């Protein structure tokens, strides 16, 4: 599950910006090339981090996600990609397209925007492996500044943008990188996959919610019609 999907699922349970931020925080830490050691002195933020990991377990084990990922891998391998990039695109690509689906359904939510605003103020509450608090906070601020200026999650609604992000993200991973000249395969897959992912997204998130309930996670707050 990518960061915006985490935010949407978390906001179904609480609109506390620190809770929603915590639910995305491990993804942001990874994007910054850091490793989170702990959260200091902020219970909603810390609980959100825990919920992130519970969500990932529920999502990655959901049969519908496994099937979607495997279908993508098979298609890309059939088209000529090696198994490494095909598997990575099947995993990350479906997640990014799901973020795009959620943006199309409800826009970029106020809870997400409030959480991003909070992110600029929590650097000194985070402890990163191998870094002094001040160093970690500075690296965190740099990442949040880049994120705030990036056209995401809005442009995850565009398959071509998703494909471009996939090629860029995997380029630094020799075993997963898309070989030069094979990039059009990724763009073509994203165009084909986007409507399929959108068609199955509602049922997939229902499956994730069922798995969260089975894991004892906090249930969503009922919404009045």
Residue 219 lies in a domain: no
Q: What is the mean pLDDT of residues 19-33?
A: 96
Q: Which domain holds residue 125?
A: 3-213
> Does pLDDT of 108 surpass 60?
yes
Tokens of 65: 């996600």
Residue 88 · residue 174 · CB < 8 Å: no
Do the beta carbons of residue 101 and residue 201 sit within 8 Å? yes
What distance lies between CA 112 and its chain's CA centroid?
A: 13
What's the pLDDT score for residue 185? 97
Task: Note whether residue 34 is domain-resident.
Answer: yes
Residue reference for tokens 């809870």: 111
Per-residue pLDDT, averaged over 195-207, amounts to: 98
Residues 6+ positions from 149 with CB-CB distance below 8 Å: none
pLDDT tens-digit readout, 115-154: 999 999 999 999 999 999 999 999 999 999 999 999 999 9
Q: For residue 46, what are its two tokens? A: 């810390």
Tell me if 204 is assigned to some domain. yes
Could you give the 3-state DSSP secondary structure of residue 37?
strand
pTM (predicted TM-score): 0.96
Is 52 a member of any domain? yes
Asked whether residue 223 is domain-assigned, the answer is no
Q: What is the pLDDT of residue 89?
A: 97
Q: Given the DSSP bridges, would you call strands 36-39 and 126-128 parallel, antiparallel or unpaired?
A: antiparallel
CB 3 within 8 A of CB 29: no
- Whether 24 is in a domain gets the answer yes
Q: What is the pLDDT of residue 224?
A: 61
Side-chain-facing half-sphere of 71: CA atoms under 13 Å: 13
118 found inside a domain: yes
pLDDT score of 223 more than 90: no
d(CA 115, CA 19): 8
CA distances from 182 to 60, 78, 136, 170 (A): 27, 13, 37, 13
- The interaxial angle of helices 63-79 and 43-60, nearest 10 deg, is 60
For 221, list phi and psi in degrees, rounded to 5: -80, 125
Checking if the pLDDT of 225 tops 70, the result is no
Structure-token pair, residue 157: 């609604």
Q: Return d(Cα 194, Cα 203) in angstroms, integer.
A: 15
Give me the DSSP letters along 41-52.
S-HHHHHHHHHH
Domain count, the chain: 1
Q: Is residue 143 part of a domain?
A: yes
The H or E element containing residue 184 is helix 183-214
pLDDT in tens, 144-196: 999 999 999 999 999 999 999 999 999 999 999 999 999 999 999 999 999 99
């Amino acid at each position: 599950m990518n960061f915006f999907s985490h935010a949407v699922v978390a906001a179904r349970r609480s609109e506390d910006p620190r809770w929603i931020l915590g639910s995305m925080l491990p993804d942001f830490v990874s994007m910054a090339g850091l490793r989170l050691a702990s959260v200091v002195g902020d219970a909603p933020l810390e609980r959100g981090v825990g919920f992130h990991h519970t969500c990932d377990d529920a999502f990655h084990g959901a049969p519908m996600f496994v099937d979607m990922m495997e279908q993508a891998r098979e298609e890309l391998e059939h088209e000529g990609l090696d198994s490494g990039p095909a598997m990575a695109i099947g995993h990350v690509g479906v997640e990014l397209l799901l973020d795009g689906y959620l943006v199309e359904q409800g826009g970029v939510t106020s809870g997400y925007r409030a959480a991003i605003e909070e992110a600029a103020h929590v650097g000194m509450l985070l402890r990163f492996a191998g870094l002094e608090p001040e160093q970690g906070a500075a690296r965190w601020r740099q990442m949040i500044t880049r994120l705030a200026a990036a056209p995401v999650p809005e442009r995850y609604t565009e398959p071509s943008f998703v494909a471009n992000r996939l090629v860029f993200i995997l380029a630094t991973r020799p075993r997963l990188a898309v070989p030069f000249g094979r990039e059009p395969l990724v763009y073509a897959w994203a165009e084909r996959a986007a409507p399929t992912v959108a068609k199955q997204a509602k049922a997939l998130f229902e499956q994730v919610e069922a798995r969260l309930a089975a894991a004892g996670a906090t249930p969503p707050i009922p919404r009045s019609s």
